[in-house]
Amino acid sequence: MATFIVRRLIAAVLILLAATFLMYNMVALSGDPLEDLRGVQTPNTAQLIEARIRLLHLDVPPPLRYFIWLGGIAGCFIGQCDFGMTIQQQPVLDVLLNSMDQTLRLVTVATLVAIILGIIIGITTALRQYSAYDYGVTFVSFLFYSLPIFWFAVLLKQFLAIGANDWLQRGGQIHWWVIALVALASGLFWMSVLGGDVKRKLITFGLAAASGGLLLWYMSVSGWFLNPRFIVFGLDFSLLAIAVLFLTVALLVTAILTGLKNRRSLFIALGMAVLGIALYYPVNFYLFNPQVVPMNAWIMIASFLVVILFGVAVGHLFGGDNKAANRKIAAWTGFLVFAIMVVDRHMQLWQAYSQSGFIRGRPIATIGASNPGFAQSSFFVQGVDAFTHLLLPSIALMVISFAGYTRYTRASLLEVMNQDYIRTARAKGLTERTVIVRHAFRNALIPITTIVAFDIAGIIGGAVITERVFGWTGMGSMFQNGLDRVDPNPVMAFFLVTGALALLFNLLADIAYAALDPRIRVS
Amino acid sequence: MTTNIPQTNEPHITDAEANLELKEVEGLSQGQIVRKRFFRHVGAVVSMVVLALIVLLAFTSVGLSFGGVRVPGWWQWDWTQNPRPINGGVPSWEHPFGQDSIGKDLFALVMRGTQQSLMIMVLVGLIGATIGIVIGALSGFFRGWVDAVLMRFTDVIITIPFIVIGAVIGSTFGKLGAFILAIVLGLFSWTGLARLVRGEFLTLREREFVDAARVAGASNGRIIFKHILPNAMGVIIVNTTLLMAGAILAETALSYLGYGVQAPDTSLGLIISQNQEAFQTRPWLFWWPGIFIITIALCINFIGDGLRDAFDPRQKRMPSERAMRKSDTAAADAAALRGAEVEDAMSATASVGQAQAPGPDARAPRVEGDTAGDNPDRDRD
């Protein structure tokens, strides 16, 4: 394994060297970096030109200048990174560090959401092949494939941001016919996804439509969209809603991983959920209280790890004869329960956030990556702020890859479901759940890992466009500014980061491939 | 193959499917089969008609302008004229798509933009396909160091996102007009296709018919062009279509960013870019070009889907139940007339068995952008 990774890394570095050489020369030869100075006739023009030539080594021809640049990059290995200067005489490294986290955040969120949603929807369409739901998703994914990302982003800005903000300012009430439509849609959706005979379909439809409609009606009359808490007669019943959510998560995780008939697993999952309910107030008062714990991203990640490890321990201690599956169940339940708590903590701040002086009741942002007004606020307020700013760009960015992942997952799962060993598994009398989750799903994931790795270059390219539409000053704008002024250094910094990211993802895909398919031995 | 011929009055359902399959391909050449399957795909046929109409509309309405030669069309305005803005440019009988802020007729602009986008799309597709086929064929057929060199080169190009390299190209060649831009973009769009063609060649070159050709003394060139390439045509055509769909989206995106078609001329992306701030006041400036982009890309994607269904028999649509029943009764009638000749039925079943079993080539690397993984067998679980 180690030799494999080392060999792949060396190959990746060589490819990156060749690609950067190509890019550097193409950018350097794309125009005249002195054009803006040549146009003006001031007494010191000659000096300015001279200064810029010295700053950017313009007297060296591009193929050789590349090696000056490469020398600066190589300095990173001895702790002295030098990405060169921009044409505005700023160190590129500073610009890069300022803009990198925005773009990486956007790309990561969009990729993760697209993968998760794409796989879930792909699986359901494969399991309900040729249903109305399947055809609907097929058509929608074709449409998404054909959407120009910038056009879609402008539409999102208009309707999802300005429209939604107007609506929130009017009080966040929903018309009865919208509620009826949503209820109908949710009924049809669940009916199509869950399937079964006519009677079961009708029952599913009725239940889903009624619960969807009721929930939406309640949200509308209680002003949930302005303040996402469950308040009845002035009392906060949010813990009740949270408790229901926790228990549902426990049931769902058990149903997917071992089936509800496995009592021990069910009790372990429910135990984790009950523990979550019991710890809800302590966690909120201590861990999530900025005055007690100075929360930051690292502490948050560490807390998640602790929760997952705790779940693994619980699953191991009470796992009985099926320790492996129960460890997984307890860890997943713990993870999801804690994630809901984190989301809930953010939602508690929603009203205060959207009514603060910087926002004035129009929370969904259309410009920029964060509101500078909240720079000094707590981790959770910044989290809400990041959410409102990330929402639209990540939707715009994930749409195309989401369509791809759905189609690939569907095709791949259908392919696997047609294999002989699936027939064998069914013939053994295994339940449909076991066949799908244990036998089919894992194998269906193998081709998807490759697609995801390939897709990352496309997502980065899309980020350049998305950043432009939403006015982010991320790496995309650094790239564009550099390119417009024939300034290779910032362009190369952009390309170095994204190219390395793409190669890293390819490497990860290879490793995941080997992990998923034991027949593949890496050597 | 020892097959039990069902003696009951209700033949097994597989036979119905087999009959359908057999009747469908009886006495047809490969090309005829593909055409027949393609025209059965409703979405693809509709898309082809729509696309043809768009092409016709775009090229006849405002005429052509190429290399200084100007052929006028039937539409009264063209994209360079600035008629007086009427009523703030709201769509009217005079200007059905409306006018932009300085009075240009939007219909003429959109038609010209469509021309440019189509032209770039076709050029990028053709050039990308040609280079992709050559590189993929060479490295798949010769393997060894040729393969190593060409594939490492492909790796290098594929590392650079297409939008990024497109932007760099656009900032260099954009001023030279859409034609040059399209050619240079095509020079960098072949990577995905090259990999797929290589995979296809790697599998096909191990097949018996290639050995047979070699034993018969065929040269490498003859084997590549006469024996392997025709068999790889399915993958090539389907993916060239998808490449074109990608190219039109990339071109509009580049024009939107300012690295595509430049100002006196126009393109669909450029119209949106110039007018996105006016969405509140003049929404039609934004809607029309967008709708044309989506329609073209959607049509191409559907055509690609239809082609894939047509070329890859493994992924065909399930025949409808009615068609199967009909075929059942027809087969039963025929059998009754013939007095149920067992020999015939056996050979029919056997040959169908061959036709249905996917050969090793059908298992070859999946088509990029492979979407509809439909197999008739899957329906019965």
Q: Is A327 on the interface with B (CB under 8 A)?
A: no
Token look-up 């759905």 returns: A406
List of chain B residues whose C-beta atoms are within 8 Å of the C-beta of residue A18: 152, 156
For residue B139, what are its two tokens? 């490295």
- Alpha-carbon span A185 to B50, nearest angstrom: 30
Per DSSP, B85 falls in state P
Alpha helices in A470-517 (DSSP H): 475-484, 488-516
What's the confidence (pLDDT) of residue A329? 92
Reported as a pLDDT band with limits 50, 70 and 90, residue B342 is: very low
Q: Which residues pair with A186 in a beta bridge?
A: none
At residue A330, does pLDDT exceed 90? yes
The CA distance from B104 to B46, in Å, is 32
Inter-chain CB proximity A411 and B371 less than 8 Å: yes
- Model confidence at B15, pLDDT cuts 50, 70, 90, reads low
Chain A residues with CB inside 8 Å of B373's CB? 410-412, 414-415
Asked whether the CA dihedral A110, A111, A113, A118 is positive or negative, the reply is positive
* pLDDT at A160 exceeding the cut of 70: yes
Determine the pLDDT at residue B67: 65
pLDDT of residue B347: 41
User: B357-375: string of b/e by CB count within 10 Å (b at 16+)?
Assistant: eeeeeeebebbbbbbbbbb
User: Which residues in A lie closer than 8 A to residue B377 (C-beta atoms)?
Assistant: 418
In this predicted structure, what is the pLDDT of residue A308? 94
Contacts of B339 (CB under 8 A, 6+ apart): none
Average pLDDT of span A138-166: 86
Interface of A with B in 460-499 (CB under 8 A): 460-462, 464-465, 468-469, 479-480, 483-484, 486, 491, 494-495, 498-499
pLDDT band with cut points at 50, 70 and 90 for residue B25: low
CB of A147 within 8 Å of any CB in chain B? Answer: yes
The residue of chain B nearest to residue A417, with distances taken between CA atoms, is B378
Q: Encoding tokens for residue A247? A: 């228990």
Q: Is the pLDDT of residue A379 over 80?
A: yes
User: Given a cut of 60, is residue B323 above it in pLDDT?
Assistant: no
Q: What is the pLDDT of residue B88?
A: 66
As a whole number, mean pLDDT of residues A116-145 equals: 87
Nearest to A30 among B155, B168, B253 (CB): B168
- Cβ(A467)–Cβ(A69) below 8 Å: no
Interchain CB distance below 8 Å, A414 and B375? yes
A108 part of contact set with chain B, CB < 8 Å? no
Crossing angle of the two packed helices A238-257 and A323-348, in degrees rounded to 10:
150
Q: How confident is the model at residue B135 (pLDDT cuts 50, 70, 90)?
A: very high
Q: How far apart are the first and last CA of chain B?
A: 25
Residue in B117, B152, B158, B168 to test binding to A, most A beta-carbons within 10 Å? B168
Interchain proximity A461–B162, CB inside 8 Å: yes
Interatomic CA distance for residues B215 and A386, integer angstroms:
67
> Given CB atoms, is A145 within the 8 Å cutoff of chain B?
yes
Mean pLDDT of A62-68: 81
Of A151, A417, A499, the CB nearest to B159: A499
Share of chain A above pLDDT 70, in %: 99
Least confident of A54-58, A335-339, B338-342: B338-342
More confident residue, A386 or B131: B131
Residue A314 CB contacts under 8 Å (≥ 6 apart), including other chains: A268, A271, A272, A330, A334
Contact A15 B257 (CB under 8 A): no
Whole-number average pLDDT of chain A: 84
Contact A26/B168, CB-based, under 8 Å? yes
Taking phi over 0 as left and psi of -120 to 50 as alpha, with beta for the rest, A488 belongs to alpha
Q: What is the mean pLDDT of residues A21-31?
A: 84
3-state secondary structure A81-147: CCCCECCCCCEHHHHHHHHHHHHHHHHHHHHHHHHHHHHHHHHHHHHCCCCHHHHHHHHHHHHHHCC
More confident residue, B311 or A480: A480
pLDDT for A253 equals 92
pLDDT at B212: 92
Residue whose entry in the numeric block shows the structure tokens 């929903």? A174
Residue A312's pLDDT is what? 93
Residues in A closer than 8 angstroms to B293, CB to CB, are: 146, 148, 151
pLDDT at B338 over 70: no
Q: What is the pLDDT of residue A340?
A: 92
Is residue B76 predicted with pLDDT exceeding 90? Answer: no
- Neighbour tally for B337: CB within 10 Å: 8
Q: B16 is written with which tokens?
A: 């119905």
Q: Please count the CA atoms within 13 angstroms of the CA of B95 that sit on its side-chain side.
A: 29
pLDDT of residue A522: 55
Is residue A268 very low, low, confident or very high in pLDDT (cuts 50, 70, 90)? very high
pLDDT score at B381 = 35
**The two three-digit tokens of residue B235, written as one number:** 């993958």
Contacts of A7 in chain B (CB under 8 A): none
Which candidate in B42, B153, B156 is best for mutational testing of the A interface (most A CBs within 10 A)? B156
Nearest CA in chain B to A423: B381
Mean pLDDT of chain B: 74
Residue of A nearest to B250 (CA): A148
Binned at pLDDT 50, 70 and 90, residue A69 comes out as confident
pLDDT band for A11, please (50, 70, 90 cuts). Answer: confident
Q: What's the mean pLDDT in A35-39?
A: 71
Residues of A in contact with B276 (CB under 8 A): 150, 154, 469
Q: Which of B247, B270, B252, B266 is nearest to B121 (CA)?
A: B247
> Per-residue pLDDT for B144 more than 80?
yes
Task: Give A432's contacts (C-beta < 8 A, 6+ positions apart).
Answer: A426
Most A CBs within 10 A among B117, B160, B375, hence the mutation to make, goes to: B160
* Closest Cα in chain B, distance from residue A206 (Å): 27
- pLDDT-above-90 percentage for chain B: 5
Whether the CB-CB separation of A136 and A417 falls below 8 Å is answered with: no
The domains of chain B, with CATH numbers, are 36-65+99-318 (1.10.3720.10)
Chain A residues whose beta carbon lies within 8 Å of the beta carbon of residue B167: 464, 479-480, 483
Nearest-angstrom CA–CA distance, B37 and B374: 14
Q: Which residue of B has its CA nearest to A413?
A: B373
- Residue A173: is it exposed, middle or buried by C-beta count within 10 angstroms (0-12/13-18/19+)? middle
CA distance B89 to chain A (A): 21
Contact partners, residue B280, CB within 8 Å, separation at least 6 = none
- B104-108 LR contacts (CB < 8 Å, sep 24+): B104/B77, B104/B79, B105/B77, B105/B78, B105/B79, B105/B81, B106/B271, B106/B284, B106/B285, B106/B288, B107/B61, B107/B75, B107/B77, B108/B61, B108/B62, B108/B75, B108/B77, B108/B78, B108/B79, B108/B81
Task: Check residue A301 and give its pLDDT.
Answer: 92
Residue B222 has pLDDT above 60, yes or no: yes
Helix axes B342-356, B13-25, angle to 10 degrees: 80
Q: In this model, does residue A115 exceed pLDDT 80? A: yes
Whether residues B249 and A408 touch (CB distance < 8 A) is answered with no
Task: Check whether B247 has a pLDDT greater than 70.
Answer: yes
Mean pLDDT highest for which of A34-38, A334-338, B81-85, B363-367? Answer: A334-338
Q: Where are the beta strands (DSSP E) in chain B?
A: 64-66, 69-71
Q: Which one of A127, A138, A141, A151 would you mutate to disrupt binding with B, by most B Cβ within 10 Å of its Cβ?
A: A151
- C-alpha B241/C-alpha B239 separation (Å) is 5
Mean pLDDT for the stretch of residues B73-93 = 70
CA atoms of A315 and A309, how far apart (whole Å): 10
Range of lowest pLDDT (A355-359, B120-124, B158-162): A355-359
Residue B147 has what pLDDT?
87
**Inter-chain contact A19–B157, Cβ cutoff 8 Å?**
yes
A507 and chain B in contact, CB less than 8 A: no
Q: In this structure, are residues A344 and A238 in contact, taking their beta carbons and an 8 Å threshold?
A: yes
- Higher-confidence residue of B260 and A21: namely A21
Tens of pLDDT, residue by residue over A190-240, are: 888 887 788 888 998 999 999 888 888 888 887 787 778 777 776 777 888
CB atoms B301 and A142 under 8 Å: yes
- What ipTM was reported for this prediction? 0.81
Q: What is the pLDDT of residue B32?
A: 82
Evaluate if residue A5 carries a pLDDT over 60: yes
Tokens representing residue A433 in the block = 């759940």
